[in-house]
Every structure is written in C-alpha cells, then in structure tokens.
Amino acid sequence: MTGEHDLIKRFFAPLCSCPDDFPAFGLLDDTALIPSCRGGDVLLTSDMLVADVHFFADDPPFDIAHKALAVNVSDIVAKGGLPDLYLLSLALPANLSSDWLEAFSSGLLQAQKRYDCELVGGDTVSTKGPLVISVTMLGDIEAGKMVRRNGAFPGDQVFVSGTIGDGTLGLLARSGELEKTGVKLPRQQHEHLLNRYLRPEPDLALSSLIYRYASASMDISDGLFGDFTKLCAASHVGGIIEAARVPLSDAAASVLAHQPDLLDNILTGGDDYEVLMTIRADRADKFEVEAENVTRIGLVVERVEGVKMLDSDGQPLELAQSAYDHFGDIES
C-alpha cells in the first residue's frame, strides 16, 4: 500500500455516506462542510487516546475504534445532544498492519451505525511512538438547549446512569492488578469488567431526557467523586453523595465483597462514561419514572456545606484520590 491517499480510500472513505457531496465529499477535499441551514446549535468535543495509556496496544482494533468514538459520544449525550459528524486523526506506528486497519475501520463503521454519526475528515500521519487517536465530534442539539455543568441548585437531586466503577475495575482486571489484590471473579463477571473498560456504551436514549429534565449534567470520565466535585464547583454549590446508593454491577459488588478497600477505586476511578445529572426536586420522581437505568444517589446543597461522599452511617468517607487524572504531572 502506498501512502495516505490509498489508506483513506481503502479504510476511511467507506465511512462517509455521500461520496460526492457535503459534509465530507468522500474525504477527498481539504475541508468538510456543515451547511448553514441546520436550525439547531452544534456541540463540539474532542478526545485523544494513546496506546498503553487509554487502551492496550494489543487490544482488538475493532474495540479500540469503538472506544474512540464512544468517549466522544458520551460528552455529546451528557450535554443533551446527539452525535452527528466526526473527524478522526491517527498517528500510526510503522508496524501497524493493514489487517489492523481493516478491523479498526470495521469497528468505526459499527460504532457509527450504533451512534448514528459519520466520518467527515481528519488526518493520518506516521509516528515512531505509540498509536495516537484523536477524534473531534460534532453533535446536534436544539438551539439553546445545551445542558451545562453550571445549572445545579441546592435541593436538586443527583442521579447517575448505569453502574459506576466497572471501567476502572476493568482496567485493574486487564492489567492483572485485580488478581493481585486477592479477588477471583467468575469468568462472566471478569469479562463484564474487561468489556466495560474497553467498550463504554453511552446511551443515546438518555440525551432527550437530559435536555428535558437536567439542571446540570456531565459525563463521568475521571471518576464519580472528582467529576461531581467539578460539577458542584461549576454550579457554585455543595453536594452530598451517599456511597451506599451508588449503583454497582454484580461484578463490582463481588469485587467489593472480596476486597472492601476497592470502594475507593470505584468511587474515584476513571473510565465510567456514564452520566451525572442534577434534577430539580419537584421533577425528580417524573424523571426517575421516564428514564430507564438511572439511580438517585445524592443531593445538591449550599456551597458552604462542601462536597461530600457519605458512608452508610452518614459519616464522610475519606477518599484517597479525589479525581483520576489521565494526564498526571508536568514538570514545573
């Protein structure tokens, strides 16, 4: 195979719906185009994934592709929007095979269908370092309806979607760390955690409920407690989460039964890709009935009361780390 043009033609052009027209012109022009007559606002988000930081270099390329799109979809859904278009840039190590790219492209195609979005541009370059994937995603939302982080108000109820902690436990399982803590899970539960780490599944159906009900919302990517702290800070409020109410999968509950110390990881670890929402108290019951798969876990309070995670006795939990940070430290 010889270079970028063939690469695009073979693996990426098939991901565009209109080969000769906007938005992507078959990836053969210099830019994509969003026509002016959209009617709604456009949400913009970008996530970068690096091999052996955000996934393992030997993870199946089909799943890596899924994750690269899903983490961006997660941001769009949490704002009350729906995914529409994305640009994909890849820094590819020289030893990557065309089989790898074939499977990666198939994974993108399946994820596009699942999330109803489409590739419109990007770049492919070579690197002597690890594979780097950068996705910029555009989402649709009715004009003026974006749900920000900053709308929570004392008295609002706090909800999360899905279950919490599976992603970070999946990473521990994948790296062998979980076994070292003495936890031995049934195969099915082990697989569940691995899958939740590698294939986050943001729920498009939640999007319209978020824009109809949520006063504030964000996706949980850097740990429940850290992200809740960020939402409270943006809203200038305090907040309380009751740890016992935080929804766990059977697998996470098993882990906790064997190794209670891992509660800290569950509440502060990254890679959940669930949604954290606040709902006005008088609408919370209605929201809970309409939304499937959401759980009420806490309450927004006045700022002076601070942000707390309470144990089952109502005592503040001391958490080792307040937020997982993909970044780590920079020399200062």
Site for a copy of itself contains 95 (CB under 8 A): yes
53 φ, ψ to 5°?
A: -115, -55
As measured in angstroms, the least distance from the Cβ of 258 to a copy of itself is 31
Task: Choose which of 17, 18, 19, 44 interacts with a copy of itself (CB under 8 A).
Answer: 44
- Local structure of 43: helix, strand or coil: strand
Shortest distance, position 161 Cβ to a copy of itself, whole Å: 15
Total residues at interface with a copy of itself (CB under 8 A): 86
What's the CA gap between 20 and 4, in Å, rounded? 19
Q: Is residue 262 near a copy of itself by the rule CB under 8 A?
A: no
- At residue 212, what is the residue type? R
**Residues 285, 247, 316, CA angle at the centre, nearest 5°?**
95
Of the pair 162, 270, the CB lying nearest a copy of itself is at: 270
Q: Of 88-96, 156-164, 200-208, 299-307, which segment contacts a copy of itself by CB under 8 A?
A: 88-96
Place of tokens 């509950």: 253
Q: Is 149 in the site for a copy of itself (CB under 8 A)?
A: yes
Indicate which single residue of 61, 81, 167, 202 sits in contact with a copy of itself (rule: CB under 8 A): 81
Q: Does residue 320 bind a copy of itself (CB under 8 A)?
A: no
- Residue found by looking up tokens 């503040």 in the block: 316
167 forms part of the interface with a copy of itself (CB under 8 A)? no
Name the minimum Å distance from CB 37 to a copy of itself.
Answer: 8
Among 110, 124, 195, 259, binds a copy of itself (CB under 8 A): 124
Inter-residue contact 62 to 106 (CB < 8 Å): yes
> Do 328 and 276 form a contact (C-beta atoms < 8 A)?
no
Q: Is 120 in the site for a copy of itself (CB under 8 A)?
A: yes
**Residue among 50 and 109 whose Cβ is closer to a copy of itself:** 50
Q: Look up tokens 């999968």; give the residue.
A: 249
**153 vs 191, which CB is nearer to a copy of itself?**
153
In the complex with a copy of itself, the residue whose CB is nearer, 36 or 315, is 36
Partnered with residue 307 across adjacent β-strands are: 239
Among 16, 68, 70, 132, binds a copy of itself (CB under 8 A): 132
> Is 175 a residue that touches a copy of itself (CB under 8 A)?
no
Residue 126 interacts with a copy of itself (CB under 8 A): yes or no: yes
- Segment holding 297, helix H or strand E: strand 294-301
Q: Which residues pair with 160 in a beta bridge?
A: 276, 295
> How many Cβ atoms are within 10 Å of 118's Cβ, its own excluded?
18
Give DSSP secondary structure letters for 176-211.
THHHHTT----HHHHHHHHHHHH-----HHHHHHHH
Placement of tokens 């269908």 in the chain? 113
User: Which listed residue (187, 289, 313, 327) binds a copy of itself by CB under 8 A?
Assistant: 327
Subset of 46-65 contacting a copy of itself (CB under 8 A): 46-50, 52-54
Q: Examine residue 43 and tell whether it contacts a copy of itself (CB under 8 A).
A: yes
For 14, residues 6+ apart whose C-beta sits below 8 A from its C-beta are 105, 109
165 touching a copy of itself, by CB under 8 A: no
101 binds a copy of itself (CB under 8 A): yes
CA distances in angstroms from 90 to 1, 101, 130, 175, 233, listed in the order given? 17, 11, 11, 25, 34
- Given 19, 113, 116, 125, the residue binding a copy of itself (CB under 8 A): 125
